[in-house]
A and B are shown apart, each in its own frame.
Chain A
Amino acid sequence: MARIIVVTSGKGGVGKTTTSAAIAMGLAKKGHKTAVIDFDVGLRNLDLIMGCERRVVYDFVNVINGEATLNQALIRDKNCNLLYILPASQTRDKDALSQEGVGRVLDELKKDFKYIVCDSPAGIEKGAHLAMYFADDAFVVTNPEVSSVRDSDRMLGILSSKSRRAEQNEEPINEFLLLTRYSPERVKLGEMLSVEDVQDILSLHLLGVIPESKSVLNASNSGTPVILDEKSDAGQAYADIVARYLGEERPHRFIDDKKGFFRNLFGGK
């Protein structure tokens, strides 16, 4: 049975697209046929992060409107043949996505794919609403920062009241916390909210912590999901998250400041 995952946050710039690209690649690398959909109509970026921006011919709205078939619009990833990208359109029409149309495309994808990752736009407008509406699981991407935590809480309220599962009185969406841009050094100094602080406030199951990392910008510069940078801390953190989501036991990493006393003493980096 296919599962629909929404990657959401409310606030912009916290790492939704980076996360969508990484976990979609991670799931595909684990042998599951996966599709990742960009719901940010008018401001598509998933194609850039996935490195397929020059191969976009048809998009999500073309499929909804019957101007292209799903197979024509889906782009097969260059690194993994089990991963497909459905890009958003760059139309200015905000109402190009309809609930009925999105539902139809998702139903068609469910026949062929194991996981469907929906990359939500920021905000709580139509695109964000439709990205989460049909979800089975929600990855709530949060930065350890007040406005992001507040917006995540707001998004949790929406997931539990405005989704298809909520409206049809089905089992609620499984919600998971992904804490991104985490800096253990700053947490230790009392300058940044800790994992425990954020969990106290949001009461969410922690799927993983992504440390603040240079590798994320390197990955987006080159159009390769950061999870493929297996040596990087962020890449490993995303690999852990995918494994945990699939039911593997993995101890949490990247939460504690591992730099030793002497290394800090001499100003080591």
Chain B
Amino acid sequence: MSLLDYFKISKVGTASLAKERLQILVAHERTSLNQPTYLPQLQKELLEVIRKYVNVSQDAISVSFEQDEHQETLELNIVLPELQTKNT
């Protein structure tokens, strides 16, 4: 550390970048870790059941799990194809 270094202090260090990257990563990993392990299997089986009645595609169904202090919520979202809304 010498006199010259004092002129370089104004440059932005990489620590702020590290913090930003970590905050995003850690938030993401915490939500995925808290999800129950049965979620992928549940999604697969639900899809099979729904397909007995309606021909939906693989990505037409989404299962998400949310948790706060008071409750756990399992959200199931199915997008039905437009032409198949009539009874067959």
A residues contacting B by CB (< 8 A) are 145-146, 149-150, 153-154, 157, 185, 187, 189-194, 197, 200-201, 259, 264-268
Contact = CB atoms under 8 A, between A and B. Distances in A.
Interface residues of B, number: 23
Contact of B15 (A193, A201, A266): A193
Given A150-B22, A153-B26, A190 B13 contact: yes
Interface stretch (B1-9, B47-55, B56-64, B67-75): B1-9
**Which of A187, A189, A194, A266 has the most CB atoms of chain B within a 10 A radius of its CB?**
A189
B26 A191 contact: no
Nearest to A190: B13
A249 B18 CA distance: 32
Given A191-B13, A200-B23, 8 more contacts: A149-B22, A150-B22, A150-B25, A150-B29, A201-B23, A259-B1, A264-B1, A268-B1
A145 B2 CA distance: 25
Nearest to B25: A150
B68 to A, nearest CB: 16
A193 B20 CA distance: 11
Given A157-B33, A201-B26, A191 B14 contact: yes
Interface of B: 1-3, 5-6, 9, 11-16, 18-19, 21-23, 25-26, 29-30, 33-34
Nearest to B5: A264
**Which of B1, B18, B29 has the most CB atoms of chain A within a 10 A radius of its CB?**
B1
Contacts of A194: 15
A183 B11 CA distance: 18
B19 A201 contact: yes
Contacts of B18: 145-146, 193, 197
A194 B12 CA distance: 14
Contacts of A265: 2-3, 6
Contacts of A264: 1-2, 5-6
Contacts, number: 59
Contacts of B3: 265
Contacts of A259: 1
5 tightest CB-CB pairs across the interface, nearest first?
A190-B13, A267-B2, A264-B1, A191-B13, A197-B19
Contacts of A267: 1-2
B13 A200 contact: no
Nearest to A266: B2
Contacts of A187: 15
Contacts of B2: 264-267
Contacts of B29: 150, 153-154
Given A185-B1, A267-B2, A150 B12 contact: no
B30 A201 contact: no
9 contacts: A145-B18, A190-B11, A190-B12, A190-B14, A192-B13, A201-B23, A259-B1, A264-B2, A267-B2
